[in-house]
């Protein structure tokens, strides 16, 4: 297995696809997706475009759908949800499909949707992602951070590092065996330094600061936890993710 980390969707090679691609948007899209599926949501369908989201979701009965829209960290007017995983309670999402469009995370998923295996990862479901990778042993793995509007983000890179670090430890692999590019080594180094204070790292992150200004501290606390959900969002058809084995 060779792991490649890309800090933003724009940095991924355009002329090739990996066997397995993993989208990461810790703050907060992929954290929200994992939470929705863990709470009994039927599926998560992602859109880059808000108008397209509305058009497609209109075809679903209103009691079977939820619309989540976020731009710049704030909820889009007219949508039931923004991008907070804490709003995704079992009472609300049970049996429903979440139609979601966010500033960064849905763009990452769109970029990698043609890979044979597409997963959504966050810190909260890191162990489930690692378990899948160790079972399936894909030859090439891309971990694609969403970043923030095309630039590097600490929270997505530390999550990529958390995944790679765990695989390293569980397989007793050397860095040389595992790393496909330099970004993997830097991501592991970031995780190694901050693994005991991930919330502290979020306070340093530009998007963490943005969310704090929007009074989303509880979201930061929730998203900074590791391995709390045994759930793996996996793409069933382009743009549609369901819980693995369901």
pLDDT, tens digit (0-9, with 9 covering 90-100), for 38-68: 999 999 999 989 999 999 999 999 999 999 9
Does residue 242 lie within any of the structural domains? no
- Domain membership of residue 221 (yes or no) is yes
Q: Domain range holding 197?
A: 2-235
Q: What is the DSSP string of 104-147?
A: SHHHHHHHHTTSSEEEEE-GGGHHHHHHHHHHH--SEEEEEE-T
pLDDT at 104: 83
The mean of the pLDDT values for the chain is 95
Tell me the average pLDDT across 65-75: 92
> Is 241 part of any domain?
no
CA–CA distance, 120 with 32 (Å, rounded to integer): 10
Share of the chain above pLDDT 70, in %: 100
Q: Domain for residue 244, yes or no?
A: no
The reply to whether 243 falls in a domain is no
User: Is residue 240 situated within a structural domain?
Assistant: no
CA 79 to each of CA 47, 76, 111: distance values in angstroms, whole numbers, following the listed order: 14, 6, 24
DSSP-derived letter for residue 76 is P
The reported pLDDT for the residue numbered 103 is 83
What was the pLDDT predicted at 105? 80
Q: Is residue 207 part of a domain?
A: yes
Higher pLDDT, 83 or 105: 83
The answer to whether 5 and 153 have CB atoms below 8 angstroms apart is no
For the stretch 195-223, pLDDT in tens is: 999 999 999 999 999 999 999 999 999 99
246 assigned to some structural domain: no
Please state, in angstroms and rounded to a whole number, the distance separating the CA atoms of residues 103 and 107: 8
Give the domain CATH number at 144.
Answer: 3.90.1560.10
Is residue 246's pLDDT more than 80?
no
Q: State the pLDDT at residue 245.
A: 72
* Torsion over CA: 147, 206, 74, 65 (sign): positive
Q: Is the peptide bond before 28 cis (omega within 30 degrees of 0)?
A: yes
Total domains present in the chain: 1
């Amino acid at each position: 297995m060779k792991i490649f980390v890309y800090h933003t969707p724009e940095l991924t090679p355009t002329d090739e696809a990996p066997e397995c691609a993993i989208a990461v948007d810790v703050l907060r899209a992929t954290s929200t997706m994992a939470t929705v599926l863990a709470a009994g949501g039927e599926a998560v369908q992602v859109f880059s475009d808000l108008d397209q989201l509305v058009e497609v979701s209109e075809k679903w009965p209103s009691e079977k759908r939820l619309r989540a829209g976020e731009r710049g960290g704030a909820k889009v007017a007219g949508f039931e949800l923004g991008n907070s995983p804490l709003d995704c309670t079992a009472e609300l999402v049970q049996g429903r499909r979440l139609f979601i469009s966010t500033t960064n995370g849905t763009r990452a998923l769109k970029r990698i949707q043609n890979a044979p295996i597409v997963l959504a990862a966050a810190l909260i479901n890191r162990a489930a992602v690692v378990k899948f990778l160790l079972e399936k042993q894909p030859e090439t793995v891309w971990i694609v951070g969403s970043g923030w509007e095309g630039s590097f983000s600490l929270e997505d890179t530390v999550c990529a590092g958390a995944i790679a670090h765990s695989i390293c430890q569980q397989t007793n692999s050397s860095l040389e065996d595992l790393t496909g590019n330099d970004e993997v080594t830097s991501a592991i180094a970031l995780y190694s330094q901050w693994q005991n204070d991930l919330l502290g790292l979020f306070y340093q992150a530009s998007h963490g600061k943005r969310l704090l200004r929007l009074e989303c501290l509880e979201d930061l606390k929730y998203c900074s936890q590791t391995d709390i959900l045994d759930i793996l969002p996996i793409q069933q058809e382009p743009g549609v993710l369901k819980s693995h084995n369901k």
